[in-house]
Chains A and B, each alone.
Chain A
């Protein structure tokens, strides 16, 4: 078994109104110095040894993320 992290974020060119709303709320809390916030999704997968990197990429690119609007990073955590 291995633990795999998939992080998904809206592409840089896609407007992220949720991230912008979070950034504005920081200003109202008195937080200074945060120039930008982008909001995405974080997935943790427990996979067995039959799931190789190509399969993980397929899972991320066909289901966890929508390639039209999102980019993603797949990481295997050291066991």
Chain B
């Protein structure tokens, strides 16, 4: 069974839901702590949402420089699947694994509601969806407005690295309605909305979010079979 690390920083909120999503998808969640020096032999990593280090300095800035992120950045650059959700997306941008940055919502309000997302690219975390498929998942963030300079945005679009777009005008003012992006190899993905909160009809608006976790587990199983 594939082992998926789920990092807990001081101030992380969604690590338990992320671990549950891994379990629902058929994987074994492995807790990682911000102070860990290694990744305990996991096959993939989820950087969950919350307010790591109280959002001091900038959202994700301190977490991006914490001990566990050294090996995460190294493994992510070498092709290990890494998913950053909400604060985790902010952390991956601050750590330089993903381009751009997340800034204060344009309306200054914290946005907490369901949103529609369109899958725009096949990646390690979206291979079980079809491109163009629409998902319903919760969004809950105050600093979720994706920004990057125009040249970076053009390159991301040209290279198929815009993974998710809001199906409506972005509720946070994200440039080009971008909700999630990937690394050049499609192994590292970050998004602001919360797929791990949409895996069970009892507790979420849909089960659409489970597809991210089943995608990566299918990839890991397939690559293990080749070895």
Chain A positions within 8 Å of B, measured between CB atoms, are 10, 13-15, 17-18, 21, 63-64, 66, 68-69
A15-B106, A66-B101 known; 19 other A-B pairs, CB under 8 Å? A10-B103, A14-B147, A15-B103, A15-B173, A17-B105, A17-B106, A17-B108, A21-B108, A63-B57, A63-B65, A66-B61, A66-B94, A68-B93, A68-B99, A68-B100, A68-B149, A69-B101, A69-B103, A69-B147
Query: What's the tally of chain B residues with a CB closer than 8 Å to chain A?
Result: 20
Q: How many A-B residue pairs have CB under 8 A?
A: 34
Asked whether B77 is an interface residue with its Cβ less than 8 Å from the other chain, the reply is: no
| B contact residues around A64 at 8 Å (CB) | 57
Nearest-CB distance from A37 to chain B (Å)?
Answer: 14
Q: Please indicate the chain A residues that have their CB under 8 angstroms from the CB of B106 in the complex.
A: 15, 17
B178 to chain A, nearest CB (A): 14
Of the residues B58, B99, B104, contact of A18 by C-beta under 8 Å = B104
Interface residues of B (CB under 8 A from A): 57-58, 61, 65, 93-94, 99-101, 103-108, 145, 147-149, 173
